[in-house]
Amino acid sequence: MENLTMLQFFEWYYPADGSLWRFFASEARWLKDIGIDAVWLPPAHKGMAGGQASGYDSYDLYDLGEFNQRGTVRTKYGTKQEYIDAVQAGKQAGLKVYADIVLNHMGGAEEKEEITVRKVNPENRMEFISEPYEIEAFTKFTFPARAGKYSGFTWDHRCFSGVDYDARKQETAIYKIQNEYGEDWQDVISDELGNYDYLMLSDIDFRNPLVREELKRWGKWFYETAGFDGFRLDAIKHMNPEFFNEWLDYMRAEFNSEFYTVGEYWAPGDLGAMLRYIEFTQERMSLFDAPLQANLHRASVEGKNYDLRTVFDDTLVQARPELAVTLVENHDTQPLQSLEQTVERWFRPLAYALILLRADGYPCVFYTDLYGSSYEDNGRDGQAQQVTMEKMTELEALLVLRKRYAYGIQVDYFNDPQCIGWTRQGDEIHPESGCAVLMSNGLGTTKAMEMGKSFAGRIFTDYLGKIDGQVIINEDGWGDFQVYAGSVSVWTAEG
C-alpha cells in the first residue's frame, strides 16, 4: 500500500437536498489531487425516512432513488442515475469507491402481520418478560411502486428476529419474534445487553436461508448496477458474523474481485470483542478503530492532563495494524449524534498527525475536516443547539505530508506524558521523504530526535508553518525539533 487514505464523503447533517452524489462527482478529481485514494459514500438505497433518510434505516435495498416510495423518488443524496454517475466519476478520477451496506434491519413495511412474540428486558435481552402472545407488527414489505422489478422477494415476519412496536396496543418495547428459526436471538460476538442482536426497526434474521439467498441476489444486482470497489458494513456488532463470511465469500468469488471491506464494529471500550470478531471473520474485513477514536476524544477533552504516551493503548491499530481503519470522527461521533464523542478542535491537527503520519493503519478522513459544517439539532437535554464544525486548515498539508514524506523507518519518542514525537527516516522510492513529528498538549518544548545520518547537514523547516525557525541536522543525524504549546509541528528537509 502506498500510504492510502480514505475519505468519509458525508456527515450526518449534510443537507437532504439530493445533491450529494452530484457534489461528489464534481469533487472527485480534486480529492484525488490532494491525496485521497478511496471514498466511503453513504448508503445508496431508500431508507424509511424517504428523502430525509440517512440510509441507516433501510427500507428497499433495490430502490437507489428510482421509485416513488416513502414519499419520494430520489434519496437524501440524489437519484439512482446520479449515484451510478458518481461512482463512475470517482473511478475515472482514480479513486476507489466503497459502498455502505446496511443489512442489520429494515423499516417502513407497508403491511401489518399478526405474529407471536415474547417481550424481552431491554437491559438484558436474554431475559423474557412475557409468555408468548400475539401482536400486530409492521413486518410485511411489498414495495408497491417497485412492483417486483429486480426481485419479487417479499419480506415478512419469517425474515425478522425482532421488532419494537405493537400496533394493536400502540406499545413500544423489544419483542422477540417466535419464528421457525428460533425462540432466541441470533448469536453475536459480545454479551453487551445480554445479546445485542436487536438494534432497531425490524431486525433481519439470517437464519432464514431465503433471506441469505435474497441478499446474495441483491448484492449481485447492486454491484452489476453500480460497480463500486468495496464495502463499508454497517452495524456488524448486531449481526452474526457467519452471515458476512458467507456473503463476502460469495461476492468475491462471483466477481473475482477483492472488494476491500471495512466493518463498523463500534466497541470503543471492548477491543477484546473486536479481536474476537476478527478471529471469527478470519481477516475477511478490516474494522474501524473505535478504541483509538475514543482515546483521541479523551486526549482532546483532558488536555494537558492526558498522558500522550498512552494514546495507542488498547487500540486496534496497535493490536492488528493491518486491519485497522483509523479515524478522528464519523457521522455518529460528531456533536449531537447518537455516539457523540467528538474530538475537540484544538486537538484535531494532532489527532490527524497521529493517524496520517505513522506507519500503521489505513486512515479515514472525516468530511467536515475538509469542508466544514454548520447545523442545529437537539442535544441530549432536548434543547436546540447550534454546532459549527470548521474545516481544518492543516488537513491538506497533512495529506501532502502523508503522500510525500511519511515513509521509511519510524523511531518513536514517547517519553514525556505531555510531548510525544516520532521520525520517519524516508525511503529510496520517495526522494523527498522523511519527516519529524512533534506534538504537545502542554507547554511548548524541544526534543532531540534522530533522522539518520543521511540527513546530516540538511535544513529542516516546519511544513505546517507554525514555527518560523530552522533545524539543522547534526553530523550524527539528530536534530533539536520544536513544538508550540497545544500544537503539532512536522519538520521536513528543504529541497
Cell numbers for 482: 520544536
SS3 140: strand
Query: ∠ CA(301), CA(306), CA(311), 5° rounding?
Result: 100
- What is the CA 193 to chain-centroid distance, rounded? 23
The contact set with Ca ion (CB under 5 A) reads 104, 197, 203, 238
Of the pair 204, 406, the CB lying nearest Ca ion is at 204
Classify strands 111-121 and 124-128 as parallel, antiparallel or unpaired: antiparallel
Q: How far is the CB of 197 from Ca ion (least distance, A)?
A: 4
Q: Please, which residue, 69 or 104, has the CB nearer to Ca ion?
A: 104
Least spacing, CB of residue 249 vs Ca ion, in Å: 20
CB of 184 to Ca ion, least distance (A): 12
Catalytic residue of the set 113, 234, 360, 394: 234
Shortest Cβ 62–Ca ion spacing (Å): 21
Distance of CA 476 to the CA centre of its chain: 43
Q: How far apart are the first and last CA of the chain?
A: 26
Strand partners, 97: 39
Q: Residues 212, 191: contact at Cβ < 8 Å? A: no
Q: Which is nearer to Ca ion, 85 or 242 (CB)?
A: 242
Do β-strands 230-233 and 124-128 pair in parallel, antiparallel, or remain unpaired?
A: unpaired
For residue 180, the minimal CB distance to Ca ion (Å) is 18
Q: Are strands 46-47 and 445-450 parallel, antiparallel or unpaired?
A: unpaired
β-sheet bridge partners, residue 121: 124
Shortest distance in whole angstroms from residue 82 CB to Ca ion = 31
CB of 233 to Ca ion, least distance (A): 13
* Beta carbon nearer to Ca ion, 212 or 402: 212
Nearer to Ca ion, 274 or 350 (CB): 274
The yes-or-no answer on residue 224 being catalytic is no
Q: Are 383 and 410 in contact (CB under 8 A)?
A: no
Q: Which is nearer to Ca ion, 188 or 351 (CB)?
A: 188
In the complex, least distance from residue 288 CB atom to Ca ion, rounded to whole angstroms: 18
CB of 239 to Ca ion, least distance (A): 5
Nearer to Ca ion, 203 or 369 (CB): 203
Q: Read off the DSSP letter of residue 121.
A: E
Q: Which is nearer to Ca ion, 96 or 238 (CB)?
A: 238
Catalytic residue among 66, 264, 369, 462: 264
Grid cell listed for 493? 528537509
In this structure, the number of other CB atoms found within 10 A of the CB of residue 191 comes to 12
- Is residue 234 part of the annotated active site? The answer reads yes
Quickly list DSSP for 362-418.
EEEEEHHHHH-EEEEEE-TTS-EEEEEE---TTHHHHHHIIIII--B-EEEE--STT
Strand bridging mode 160-166 / 133-140: unpaired
Rg (CA), the chain: 24
**d(C-alpha 126, C-alpha 120), whole Å:** 7
Residues 6 or more apart in contact with residue 213 via CB below 8 angstroms: none
Q: Which of 397, 412, 415, 411 is nearest to 461 (CA)?
A: 397
For residues 490 and 460, the answer to whether their CB atoms sit within 8 Å is: no
Contacts of 56 (CB under 8 A, 6+ apart): 43, 47, 102, 234, 235
What's the CA gap between 399 and 353, in Å, rounded?
9
232 or 238: CB nearest Ca ion: 238
**Which sequence positions are flagged as catalytic?**
234, 264
